[in-house]
Chains A and B, each alone.
Chain A
């Protein structure tokens, strides 16, 4: 739906201290203040959040799905970049 007075915003919620803000969805609002209020009402009703970011959807630059071969496939063959070749002493426990 075209909504010239209420552009789209992306909503990010941080659920706990120490965690990162995570994208949870989007909404329509006339400006940043209203977007923040709407985000509170739509995405934190069940106690999901301690902090909210709202970002105009137009501010996001996205990668092109058509370029995914060039963008992401070269990383797939480089298993040595995963830190799975180290032996972790038992005393360390879960890392």
Chain B
């Protein structure tokens, strides 16, 4: 018996919070797919640690979204009982792990953004979001350092690691533009000082990314056509597969607890 999806009253603040929560949850689900399979035990642990930071962020954001929404939804329902079209994460974070280089480039692009974003959000007029940002910023700063060091070593490593890292940069570049896009729903929150305008962070993001990429002897693609849709619920085929795994227990045994 399929379990019905929850209904959500998507006010701008609820939608905004769900988008950030979904980014964190989906990336936090992707990374531990490496658990037991990473090239070395040390990275098995490192990637799972990063994932636990992200899942912690997701939980706080989902709980806040539930509180703002004021219905009977909660963090578990948001995670387990929404289908693909109700998820609002960036397309970048749902992309498959691929090889180790692809996982680390995805992490690098996202963490370079998240680090700036959460630092800026510490000044949000929304006290809860500001508090979540303060915690997330420290975590993101480490995620950025971890992935940056890997990008430098993969890019400036062997011929094969360089080729794989460059391939990952070329492949994932088109998913980076969505991080800086703003729609009408979010514009109101930005004007009210509750959210920061991600577009205002793009120059600094590009500076960080360019610095690491060039130290890694890699190059950024010249093509600036960007894929979008995740924020509006239009996802790549990969998210459905991810959710079927993430949600299988709750969909099969509704209300299951450990």
- Would you list 28 pairs from A and B whose C-beta atoms are within 8 A, ordered by A residue? A6-B40, A27-B42, A28-B40, A28-B41, A28-B42, A29-B42, A30-B153, A33-B149, A34-B149, A34-B153, A37-B46, A37-B145, A37-B146, A37-B149, A38-B42, A38-B43, A38-B45, A38-B46, A40-B142, A41-B42, A41-B45, A41-B49, A41-B146, A42-B42, A42-B45, A42-B46, A45-B45, A45-B49
Is the CB–CB distance between B40 and A41 below 8 Å?
no
Closest Cβ neighbor of A9 among chain B residues: B42
A41 touching B46 in the complex, CB below 8 Å, given contacts A6-B40, A28-B40:
yes
Mark interface residues in A28-61 (1 if CB within 8 Å of B CB, else 0). 1110011001101110010000000000000000
B interface, how many residues as a size bin? 10 to 19
Residues of B within 8 A of A28 (CB): 40-42
Starting from the known contacts A28-B41, A37-B46, A41-B45, 5 additional A-B residue pairs (CB-CB under 8 Å) come to A28-B42, A34-B153, A37-B146, A40-B142, A41-B46
Name the B residues within 8 Å of A38 (CB-CB). 42-43, 45-46
Give the docked Cα–Cα distance between A27 and B41 (Å).
Answer: 9
* Chain A residues in the interface with B (C-beta under 8 A): 3, 6, 27-30, 33-34, 37-38, 40-42, 45
Contacts of B46 in A (CB 8 A): 37-38, 41-42
Report the Cα distance A63→B17, complex, angstroms. Answer: 59
Interface string of B8-45 (1 = CB under 8 A from A): 00000000000000000000000000000000111101
Residues of A within 8 A of B153 (CB): 30, 34
CA distance A54 to B45 in the complex (A): 18
B237: shortest Cβ distance to chain A, in Å? Answer: 32
Kindly list the 3 A-B residue pairs having the minimum CB-CB distance in the complex, ordered from nearest.
A38-B42, A41-B46, A41-B49
How many Å from the CB of B60 to the closest CB on chain A? 19
Chain B residue at minimal CB-CB distance from A37: B146
Residues of B within 8 A of A45 (CB): 45, 49
The residue in A6, A27, A38, A41 that gathers the most chain B C-beta atoms within 10 A of its C-beta is A41
Chain B residue contacts of A40, Cβ below 8 A: 142
| CB nearest to B152 among chain A residues | A33
In the complex, what residues of A have CB within 8 A of residue B146's CB?
37, 41
Residues on A with C-beta less than 8 A from B149 are 33-34, 37
A83–B42 CA distance with the chains assembled, in angstroms: 44
A49 to chain B, nearest CB (A): 14
